[in-house]
A and B are shown apart, each in its own frame.
Chain A
Amino acid sequence: MFTIIYRIIKYGFQQFSRNSLLSAATVAVMVMALIVLLGINIFSFLTDNTLAVLKDKIDISVYFKTNAPEDEVLRVKRSLEGLPEVKQVEYISRDQALELFKANHKNDEDITQAIIELGENPLSASLNIKAFNPGQFATISTYLSNNSLAPIVEKISFYENKTVIDLLAKVIDTVQKAGTILAALLTLIAGLVVFNTIRLAIYSSREEIGIMRLVGASNLFVRGPYIVAGILYGIVAGLLSVLLTLPAVIFISPYVKIFIPEVNLQAHFFSNIHILILTQIGFGMILGVVSSYWAMRRYLKV
């Protein structure tokens, strides 16, 4: 048994090296397929993160009347925190609001002067609410427009942003759904292209396969080397796909940063490179092995 495994591996390497042109062509096609896969991976990383960042930027602010008592406002905060849709509530007191306002306009003499002349704080306290999901803002805003709160609430910013938030929620949802379908489709096509290439390679070896069978080789001994070669295609193509994608990642990473400063593609790519290489090789090997195994079936029936 050990001898046969040794021979299968040896002939697998031979199959790979002695048919160098065929192997190169197969690996090239596989590299392209795996780059598509890696591209999908990177694309989904980018959209996921962009969406997360965007989602995080969506919020509702409730502004309270300036005469609303602070403990009343804090009571509303606590009850909001009790809602399952609410991720986080931030309380900004009137004093804090003023501080912020001053800080934001510290270079504007007129405004600073006007505040001082006004003598009292004109700003309202507010609650800044973030939801787990943009679609949930509707529920939260319904809760807030509840009549019992009406006397102390000045305005809810959601109503101003409602159309934008609704649109964004829809866009996010669509992008994710379409992305998943597109990714599945592309993966399928890439897989089929690789399968077909390997099928052609095996087809060109069909006579050899027949000869081996006629000389008395078992199916295992005939098939084994082709499976090993399939594994080798996968390893080489997996490595190459990551190596070839690297420059592209380095190139586009700064542009991504311009759009979404929170997303660092390059750092993500490099910190996960071992996992990426392993998954790429894994995919390549599965493709190679399954294709070889499947494509050989009919030629072994002699």
Chain B
Amino acid sequence: MALYRSHVLVCGGTGCNSSKSDMIRQRFEEKIIEMGLDKEVQVISTGCFGLCEEGPIVVIYPEGAFYSRMKIDRVDRIVEEHLFKGRIVKEYLYEESLDKDKLKSLNEVDFYSKQKRVALRNCGVINPEDISEYIARDGYLALGKVLTEMTPVDVIQVMKDSGLRGRGGGGFHTGLKWGFAAPNQADQKYVICNADEGDPGAFMDRSVLEGDPHAVLEAMAIAGYAIGATKGFIYVRAEYPIAVKRLEIAIGQAKEMGLLGKNIFDSGFDFEIEIRLGAGAFVCGEETALIASIEGQRGMPRNKPPFPAIKGLFGKPTIINNVETLANVPQIIINGADWFRSFGSEKSPGTKVFALGGKINNTGLVEIPMGTTLREVIYDIGGGCPNGKAFKAVQTGGPSGGCITADYIDTKIDFDTLTDLGSMMGSGGMIVMDEDNCMVDIARFFLEFTVEESCGKCTPCREGTKRMLEILDLITQGKATLEDLDKLEKLAINIKNTALCGLGQTAPNPVLSTMRYFREEYEAHVLEKRCPAGVCKSLLSYYITEDCRGCTKCAKQCPVNCIEGSVKKLHIIDQDKCIKCGACMEACPFDSIIIK
């Protein structure tokens, strides 16, 4: 292998890729060849660095110089100055990484210093399309250890001791799950990796697959050995083309090196992995629906028991684990259960990846030890709300979760504390909201999502969620009464108790939790016909102030001709006809149209 003096790591994750990081990488390669540096400097496309807000990101080692918000026209200067002359281009660096002109290491930057990377350890560090880089970071060591030194019973014991809980949402103990499937006799068993990632605001599984696909493959093989399965499936969302491509490459390379396929490590153990694509149905993230989908049917859940560990894919014993759960497994095998338990809390050991988004300065992926407080995540890592706005609430758990308010910001995050607050860990979406977000509107947003995604099999979910949405519509239009609020709450509790699968059982959570913490906001909509945050369109009115100079621009733009007034005279909006499209406000050159 050639030795390079410098490495240029260009983020090839989805976020940075969308802002043309691929072209930046190409330009680096071209310029490096032009300058005759191609024998000394290597350019690598990596997985996500986590700090997506500052993307596209380029990091140059050995200095660890962190260039943020890269632009293609900055590449030449970086190659000339930094790579050729050895002078870091300070004005292009991420601001936080400079301390009085001295370069800080990445671990000292606020965004990274409170994080602990286990599942994401290789993301942004290795080239995910090259198996030798994974191997150089102890890749496939765990599989080797398992196959040559451990019995399946040992493996399951280590998993049980580690206390690892499923990161897909349920938080079920992984060791227990494997332990249920292992003793069942069958001619074939299966391991499934759930990469359907349905939470509409989360992308951590995608980042693991894009940044470190081999970790998932290795873990699946370990799981296969532990329960006696020789075949694995990865069920990926079809919306993740980069992840699918990298998985395909990874599977190909692993097979070529004999790390998948027949007689792995000469142990007599065979394991094969196949990729299956989803087709855009949220409910397919639920394990029994996912199985139906792989079998080629409509993805509808069924009653449990029998659990998949007894009767799963094609009727055979099957275990299903989430991507992030699996990404932890090789590390646990290598470093031991006690090491894993040294992070996190007693009942929720280890770390969790969150997709931090919404009204927050540092959007991106963060991996923190369980037990970190919300305050640390939102303020120390996330940098608080932008534009000096007040923090209002954070939504966790996606469509199954709920909101947590500023009063509870010192809560230590783990599976149980979030559930106690009426929310959920879910898969790890964490969306921050500020004073400009209307909580009724957010509840309505999630409910609309579940109504669309309900598979229609059970009545409480199919019909009940629709009725709830109708009531929420009335509220946001200012047409609801206080009885409607009670009805909404009753309906929510009924659905929670009677729906068939997790989708229906958790669908009312966003409504119940916002009603619990923001009752006064609901009441303002109902009693005063007012949306305090100024979001619900039907409750807003546009007015023209005295500043109007009568330029007539607004009247010309109005699609329903509801603005009256002649040249140089004050214009007036006919409130009965106004459709609240906002076109007039946009057209006004004097900012004299306001929303009330």
A binds B: no
A residues near B, CB below 8 A?
none
